[in-house]
Amino acid sequence: MNIGEQLDAIKDRARTDPKLCEAFWETRKQANPLAAFCGKCRELGYEIYEMDLIDAGEEFYAAIKRSTNGGGENSPVLKGEDDFYEMFFAELELGKRER
């Protein structure tokens, strides 16, 4: 399971478990929120580490850039698309609004 799939699975769990969802939001208040987030993921059995998370976002973004217009300088700028961590919380927030 790649990082994106793991994050989707975690997100699904958090959406159905309010305590787990709140635990993830609490990680954002820590001195090192990314490390706290990854630690919570590992507590749940998902081997996600900070650099793996960052690298996955960058690889995803690079693949998108390569697939558009030959990946040259005219490729669209996709703000935030490389940040799986922030996207995780944005999607959690969206899920809260949809309830």
- Detail the DSSP E strand segments found in 38-90: none
Q: Choose among 97, 94, 85: nearest CA to 24.
A: 85
Write the pLDDT tens digit of every residue in 31-44.
999 999 999 999 99
Element (H, E) at 58: helix 50-67
Share of the chain above pLDDT 70, in %: 69
Average pLDDT value for residue range 53-80: 63
Report pTM: 0.76
11: confidence class by pLDDT, cuts 50, 70, 90: very high
